[in-house]
Amino acid sequence: MQFEIRKAQLADVPSIHGLVHELAVYEKAADQVLTTQAMFQQDFSSGAFDAVVAINPETGQLVGMALYYTAYSTWKGKYLWLEDFVVQSDYRRLGLGKLLFDEVLRIARESNAFMKFQVLDWNTPAMGFYDTYGVQYEREWITCRKWL
C-alpha cells in the first residue's frame, strides 16, 4: 500500500491531536496532556508548529504524524525540534515511521537546519529506529522546565 506523506493542513489538526493522546497513553502519561483541539488549531494557524502526516489512501484516514517547530541554538544555529512522532499501532512496521522521519529530515535540510528531539530512556523500539539513522544521544544534558 502506498501511503501519502504530506504537510499537515488545518483540517488534520483534530487527528493530530488524537495521535498525541495515543502517544501519551503509550508513554504512560495520558493525564499530562493539557492541550485541547482548539489550542492546537489556534497554534497551528498562527505558525507555532507544523507537521507532516501519513494518510491511508484506501480510507483517507490520518494514521501517523511528525510534529515539529523551528528553534535556534546560539552555538549551532537554526534547528527543527521534533516534538512528537507517532504512527497508529495498527500501521506500525509498514515503513511509515521512516517515511515521516525522512520527510522531516528533508525539510530540515532545505531550511539549512539540523534536527533535535528527545526519546524516553525506556523506549528501546524508538531508540532502535533512531540508531539506524546514526543519531547522537546527548546524555549529559538534562531537560528542564518551569511552568508559569
Q: What is the pLDDT of residues 37-90, one digit of tens each?
A: 999 999 999 999 999 999 999 999 999 999 999 999 999 999 999 999 999 999
Domains of the chain from N-terminus onward: 4-117 (3.40.630.30)
Number of Cβ within a 10 Å radius of residue 45: 10
Q: What is the pLDDT of residues 129-140, one digit of tens each?
A: 999 999 999 989
Q: Active-site positions?
A: 130
- The pTM of the full predicted model, rounded to 2 decimals, is 0.93
d(CA 31, CA 51): 23
As given in the structure block, the three cell numbers for residue 9 are 493542513
Whole-number pLDDT of residue 139 = 87
Per-residue pLDDT of 14-31, as tens digits, reads 999 999 999 999 999 999
Going edge to edge, which strands form the sheet with 62-73? Answer: 4-7, 50-55, 62-73, 77-87, 114-117
Burial 112-133 (b: 16+ CB within 10 A, else e): ebebbbebeeeeeeeeebbeee
